[in-house]
Amino acid sequence: MKRTEIFREIDELITSYCEGCFLHLHFKKEFSKSYAHRFCINQCTVGQKLQEKGNCLMKQK
């Protein structure tokens, strides 16, 4: 898979699921920005897919 395709998929994921995410906004308001970010990275399925795409980019270097 080409790097541009991976970047396009990452952009689509963020645009479709992450922008305006209720859980992120809730956790940021109730706890902190870093807590919300950690949730997205470690527990959110979209965050896990983004990590997979990022790993694909790292392997291509």
Q: What is the pLDDT of residues 11-49, one digit of tens each?
A: 999 999 999 999 999 999 999 999 999 999 999 999 999
Contacts for 51-58: CB closer than 8 Å, 24+ residues apart: 53/6, 53/9, 53/10, 53/13, 54/10, 56/1, 56/6, 57/3, 57/6, 57/7
pLDDT given at position 10: 96
Q: Where are the domains of the chain?
A: 3-60
pLDDT given at position 1: 76
